[in-house]
Structure formats: C-alpha cells, structure tokens
Amino acid sequence: MNNKQASLLTVLMITGFLLTASAQNPIVQTYFTADPAPMVHDGTVYVYTSHDEDTTVNNFFTMYDWRCYSSTDMVNWTDHGAVASLKDFNWHEKSNGAWAPQCIERNGKFYLYVPIHGEGTAVLVSDSPTGPFTDPIGKRLIDSDHIWQDIDPTVAIDDDGQAYLYWGNPNLWYVKLNEDMVSYDKNIGDNGIVSIEMTTEAFGSQKGRDGKTRASYTEGPWFYKRNNLYYMVYAAKGIPEYIAYSTAQSPEGPWNYGEIVMERADHLAFTNHAGIIGFKGNSYIFYHDQSLSKGEGFKRSVCVEQFSYNADGSIPLIKPTKEGVKESIANLNPFKKVEAETMAWSEGLKTAGNSQTGVYVTTIENGDYLIVRSVDFGKGVKKFKAGVASGSTGGKIEIRLNRTDGELLGTLPVNSTGGWQNWSVKSCKLKKTKGVHDLCFVFKGDDGELFNFDWWSLIK
C-alpha cells in the first residue's frame, strides 16, 4: 500500500463515507480550506476560503493564497483555483499569513478584503468574482497602530448605500468605507477607526486565564443584515472556539449578546470561522472542521449546514454534521459542458490549472473517484464524452449510477494523448438511463498517475 492509498483509507474511515454519496462535509476534499466567506451573486454562491497547505511549516498556520468555489445547487461545488495570493501585493515581504478573506460586489466590481498576518488588512479588486484580482492602492487598507490584531475583515453594504468593514482579534473595530470601497471616512473615531466596547452585555462572557470575566468575543466576525436586524456572528470563548452571535438595531451597534450558534465538537478545529447567507429561500452557515486531516488543527476543511431562523429572528443552536446539506436545490444539467472540478465528493484527487485550460482534475490514480449529485438524465442518454489528457499509458473512467459500486453505465478508455496538456475529446456509449441520479466517476488503471480530466457531458 503506497502513501496515497493509505491516506485514502484513513480518510474513508474518518468520514464514514464508505463508497456512498451520503457525506457532504467537508465540501472540498482536494485541498485544505478554512475561514469560509460565502457571497451570493447572480444566482450563484461563491465561497472564498483561506488555504492551509498540505505541509505545515514550523507547526503553525501555513497559508499563501486564497481560493474560490461556487455552486448553484449547494451540493456540487466548482473549484476556481487560487484567485489571489500574497504575491499580489508588492508592499510587504510576508511569505506566509494569507488569513480569512471576504468578498463583496459593488457597481460591477468585486472587492476582496484579506488580512495578512502581521501586515494588517488589505484589499484587492476584480471585474469578476473569480478574478484575476489586483491591488488598487499599493498599501494596506486599514491604517492603524495595531496591525497584528487587524485580521478577519467582514464587509456589508447597508440599504442606504453605506458600506461597513468590521474586523479584529481580540477586539472589534469598524470603518465606514467610501463608495470606492478602497478607502474610508477619516472623520469618525480614531482617524476613521471606531473601537467597539467589549462588554459582556454585548458579546457574552467568559473567564480569562487570569480568572477575570470578560467578553467572549474572540475573532472571526461575520456582519450582515436580515429583516431590519443587524447580526454579528463570531468565534467566541477563546481556544477551543465556539461560534456565537450578537444583534443590533444599527450597523454601528450597540450590540446585544444573542447565544451560542455552534458548540465545540470533536471533529471541529481549535479555531472556527462562520459565514451565513440566505440563498433561494434557504439559510446556510459555513464553518470549518479538521476531519480530513485526522485532527490537525492547522489543516482545516470548509463545511456547510442548512438551518432555519427562529420566529423572532434568533439563530438556533446548529449541530455540525458529516451529512451537511442533504438535498440539492436544483438539478445539474449534464447536457452542457460540466467542469470536471465540479463535484460533491472526491477521493485521492487534486486540482490544478493554467491560463490555457483553466482548472482541471489531476493526480488521478487507480481507485480514485469523484461524485456529482442530482444529475438530471432527462428522458434518457446515449453517450458520454470528456476532455482528457495523459502523459502516461492512461487508464479508464467507469461511469456508475448513484454509488461508486453502483450500476455500470459505461466505460471510457483513456489512452495516452502524448502529454499531460495535450487535450483530447473521448467518448463512449452509455446504458439508457433517465431520471435524476448521482453520477460516479471511478478511475481505473495501472500504478502511477493515469490522466488529467477537464470536463464532461452527456449526449441524448
């Protein structure tokens, strides 16, 4: 058994997946992701994440870039790769510390607010939610004397058009962003920065190491408005972190403590970071755990749960689960080109990308697989086709129904194409199948990497 096979077996045991499509959390299995920041735009949920590297350096968070994933059904997630990195800023020398981001759209531009550990909070801008992002001001955004605490930015635009940027660990600050979203009003607070009073009435209570009672707010704020009420969701109670929330009648407070939203659980990391959205009539909370890394707190993974607010607008206690979102809110159309990096679950795979091909699935070896949920076969299909490339002897794709050991619909041979970037379109016949099913691609072949997988579609 090689290292990859051993790792795969361990992950299967940890997640309890066991060759079914029942597990949904974490929503990304190809990379370690953390600090989820969901954004709804044009009928799509985009989730921006920080990225814990596979190899941890100096027993600390090892994070160089920010990634983005999107979904229209809340069960299948498309990987858009690393959309920004520390290299996008030329005014600092940090090689590590790409911490929790958040993105927001205004006037057709997308603003990505990112903390750089030890360098404060910065901003990037793009014409697209998936980048490329560029640095519009050539310096950090928040001009403060406490830049080590200037992390975890969260941003929202109120109904009157005023944008607010909150952030901070272990304190909480905000600025009023100008309409350009890359500067702020310097005429309030301390040169534009307003400090929130950290009272137990506002943020709950906990006992510190010195035995004194203080506010339970720790870090990771998530600021939003719903039904004329302003919410601040945050990591609380120190290490290990819980998720709690407070509410206010104004975007500037005063804040009133609500309750714990998510308690500590064994498979959660010692940190947590939540993001909440409403999407197509449903409410979702994103957070991270450490299940894929066998309990390594510096290698986290983004998860999601569906929930309902109480009648009075309060948030209930939400249990983190392995199942996650149980049902898709839309079926996947397989008769158009589907990116191979769109998946509900995968084992053993990575994604990579370049400017010519975009993102694709790679490091495919014998026994690896990916699953796509809620695929609408309509009244029936006849063929399967895919864009693949192989610099080895290749392998094959087994197309199976509902389970990785489910009914075999067809097998696509993938021979060498003469190079890992020499892309070719292959096709095979399928058993006639109709209705809505999960679709499983099981990869088979000899030892070593078999091929790269860019896209697929079904033919009626």
CA dist., res. 177 & res. 164, Å (int): 6
Is there a catalytic annotation at residue 241?
A: no
Other Cβ atoms within 10 Å of 312 Cβ, number: 6
Contacts of 350 (CB under 8 A, 6+ apart): 30, 31, 361, 362, 363
Nearest to 363 by CA among 450, 274, 281, 271: 450
E-assigned strands of 146-228?
154-157, 163-167, 173-177, 194-195, 205-207, 213-215, 217-226
Is there a catalytic annotation at residue 35?
A: yes
**3-class SS at 391?**
coil
Listing DSSP states for 368-413 in one string gives -EEEEEEEE-TT---EEEEEEEESSS-EEEEEEESSTTS-EEEEEE
Helix (H), strand (E) at residue 201: helix 200-203
- The b/e string for 5-34 (b: 16+ C-beta within 10 A; e otherwise) is eeebeebeebbebeebbbbbbbbbbbbbbb
Token output for 286: 């994103």
Q: Are strands 217-226 and 120-126 parallel, antiparallel or unpaired?
A: unpaired
Whether the link from the prior residue into 26 is cis, omega within 30° of 0, is: yes
Helix (H), strand (E) at residue 5: helix 3-15
Of 185, 197, 201, 323, the active-site residue reads 201
**Residues forming beta bridges with residue 289, ordered by sequence position:** 268, 301
Nearest to 181 by CA among 259, 103, 115: 103
Instruction: Point out the residues that are catalytic.
Output: 35, 201
